[in-house]
Amino acid sequence: MAVYDLPLPQFDYFQFGNCHTGSHGAVRWRIEPRTKEEPPAIHAWRWKNGLCFEKREEDCLEADFPLTPEGLESLRGWLLEPGQ
């Protein structure tokens, strides 16, 4: 799957402080904008146990990205990286 095919909302969705959860195949994710941080960031979790966010593995992958259109594109790529 190409990075641009991931079903993610547009940048302004996150800019307004909305969270997003989704999945593709075995990969699950939660994206949470942190608009009040300096600098503003997008925090993301990625896991593969097939369960909801509250029941994910404790050691699932987490990452922060700048709250910018470029940061969102980097996040898209990170969601598709091989690994956990």
What phi, psi does 23 have (nearest 5°)?
Answer: -155, 160
**pTM for the structure as a whole:** 0.86
Q: What share of the chain in percent tops pLDDT 90?
A: 63
Question: Residue 2 pLDDT more than 80?
Answer: no
pLDDT tens sequence across 38-68: 999 999 999 988 888 888 888 899 999 999 9
d(CA 55, CA 53): 5
Question: By the 8 A CB rule, do 49 and 57 touch?
Answer: yes
Question: Residue 8 pLDDT more than 60?
Answer: yes
Respond yes or no on whether the N-terminal peptide bond of residue 66 is cis (omega within 30° of 0): no
